[in-house]
Amino acid sequence: MTSPHRVLVLNSGSSSVKYQLLDMRDGSRLAVGLVERIGEHGSRLVHTPADGERRERTAPMAGHEAALRAVAAELSADGLGLDSPGLAAIGHRVVHGGLRFTEPTVITDEVLAEVERLVPVAPLHNPANIVGIRTARALRPDLPQVAVFDTAFHTTMPEHAARYAIDVETADAHRIRRYGFHGTSHAYVSRETARLLGKDPSEVNVIVLHLGNGASASAVAGGRCVDTSMGLTPLEGLVMGTRSGDVDPAVTFHLRRVAGMSVDEIDELLNKRSGLVGLCGDNDMREIRRRIDEGDERARLAFDIYVHRLKKYIGAYCAVLGRVDAVTFTAGVGENAAPVREAAMEGLEILGLAVDAELNAVRSGEPRLISPAGSRVAVAVVPTDEELEIARQTYSLVNN
Ligand code: ADP
């Protein structure tokens, strides 16, 4: 009998669970799926096995346990159930690991308690991750389960990049500092960029631009993160689909004092009704480009604000790194939106940055260079794969 070689990756949100089952002998997907609207009307599971038809099931799912049981049933129907001997481990995406978790970690009661202690700094994310972990442990208490933290890759940031310039005692009392997120993606993409350049990660300095619905930039020096744009929460930094990114913190006092908004209303405004959606009503870059092509001024301005912020971070991270070998675009917008890449690089020749129009226009799922041949700094597109990275980290931990 072959030894266990499959890893189930779970990404539990407040009302959803995304999952992938991977074969770690070659990193291939055996099944991918999603449960949506957990605990709401119209819960739905969509399951796609690698060698079969997509299956969709609508059934009431009151909570994560019902959702995970439904996932387990779908996997069993493919002969890949949670009880099958080939399953080596479950890898959980956990958003916030604070300063304690710098590496993927086998989940114990003590680890879970520590993740719970971080809820005050990640109130929107960690509770859902914890529910997912508890449920999966109840279903397979004997199986190794690993937490892979979104913050872990950023724990190498030096203190001068991680600290806000606010009163040290107040900051420390409330664990206020810059943690950064999307770390699994930044780790994977910076390493794959080195591979694309034919170098070891320790030899290259990379600026990674993870532009999805959430968006963040990171400066990675020799494989270690030295700065990133998200902070205490994922709100800081770049303009995102629905988040403002950087604003003067005084905007919040002003809204409180002058507009009479509550803290929760301001939170909702900046996280859900700002960014591209707040600026022009759309957060999908495809739709924004279509509107720009039709001459829509609001869409144009939203695009220009998005790109302006991006350029500021690219410039800043060139300064932070000193020497830059590559700037890499990834995630939904970064991988697909050639106009964003073109606009972000425009006028940055002084930093050695440029895109080749023809290479930039190529549509591909493969890592690729889009800078002109012979450029001082490579510009690359590298599709991110957070699930594969979580699975790899999980598997290597339980196999040691
Ligand atoms: P997340 O994981 O943060 O939800 P993704 O990385 O999947 O997001 O990115 C989603 C975003 O990618 C969409 O909101 C859209 O703006 C953008 N996107 C996806 N496909 C395209 C495309 N073909 N052209 C331009 N933008 C795209």
Helix (H, G, I), strand (E, B) or coil at 392: helix
Tell me: is residue 214 an annotated ligand-binding position.
Answer: yes
**pLDDT averaged per 10 residues in sequence order, the chain, 400 residues:** 89 91 96 93 94 92 90 93 93 95 96 94 87 92 96 98 98 96 97 98 98 97 98 96 97 96 96 97 97 98 98 98 98 98 97 97 96 96 96 93
| Residue 176 within any structural domain of the chain | no
pLDDT recorded at residue 334: 98
Known active-site residue 150: yes
Tell me: is residue 360 an annotated ligand-binding position.
Answer: no
Tell me: is residue 333 an annotated ligand-binding position.
Answer: yes
| Residue 220 within any structural domain of the chain | yes
Task: From the CA of 340, give the closest atom in ligand 1.
Answer: 25
For residues 240 and 321, state if they share a domain. Answer: yes
Residue after which a domain boundary falls, among 129, 149, 169: 149
Which mutation among 282, 286, 389 tests ligand 1's pocket best, with the greatest number of atoms within 8 A of CB?
286
For residues 106 and 202, state if they share a domain. Answer: no
Report the nearest-CA residue for atom 7 of ligand 1: 332
Nearest to 107 by CA among 399, 389, 394: 394
For ligand 1, which residues put their CB under 6 angstroms from it? 212-214, 241, 283-286, 331-333, 336-337
**Domain count of the fold of the chain:** 2
Task: From the CA of 241, give the closest atom in ligand 1.
Answer: 14
pLDDT recorded at residue 400: 77
pLDDT recorded at residue 370: 98
Report the nearest-CA residue for atom 22 of ligand 1: 336
Ligand 1 center–CA 386 separation, angstroms: 15
Which mutation among 186, 189, 213 tests ligand 1's pocket best, with the greatest number of atoms within 8 A of CB?
213
For residues 350 and 284, state if they share a domain. Answer: yes
For residues 216 and 325, state if they share a domain. Answer: yes
Domain CATH for 96: 3.30.420.40
Ligand 1 center–CA 185 separation, angstroms: 15
| Residue 29 within any structural domain of the chain | yes
For residues 12 and 86, state if they share a domain. Answer: yes
For residues 124 and 38, state if they share a domain. Answer: yes
pLDDT recorded at residue 1: 55
| Residue 394 within any structural domain of the chain | no
Ligand 1 center–CA 286 separation, angstroms: 8
Residue after which a domain boundary falls, among 149, 174, 206: 149
| Residue 278 within any structural domain of the chain | yes
Give bridge partners of residue 225 from the DSSP assignment: 220
For residues 100 and 244, state if they share a domain. Answer: no
Helix (H, G, I), strand (E, B) or coil at 58: strand
For residues 224 and 363, state if they share a domain. Answer: yes
Neighbours of 366 (CB within 10 A): 9
Residue after which a domain boundary falls, among 87, 117, 149: 149
For residues 241 and 299, state if they share a domain. Answer: yes
Q: What's the domain range around 86?
A: 6-149
For residues 367 and 221, state if they share a domain. Answer: yes
Count CA atoms within 13 Å of residue 296 on its CB side.
Answer: 16
| Residue 173 within any structural domain of the chain | no
Ligand 1 center–CA 187 separation, angstroms: 20
Report the nearest-CA residue for atom 19 of ligand 1: 332
| Selected catalytic residue, list 142, 150, 296, 356 | 150
| Residue 31 within any structural domain of the chain | yes
pLDDT recorded at residue 125: 85
| Residue 178 within any structural domain of the chain | no
| Cβ-proximal residues to 207 (8 Å cutoff; 6+ apart), any chain | 217, 218, 219, 220, 314, 317, 318, 321, 324, 326, 327, 328
| Cβ-proximal residues to 131 (8 Å cutoff; 6+ apart), any chain | 12, 63, 64
Tell me: is residue 332 an annotated ligand-binding position.
Answer: yes
Tell me: is residue 284 an annotated ligand-binding position.
Answer: yes
For residues 118 and 223, state if they share a domain. Answer: no
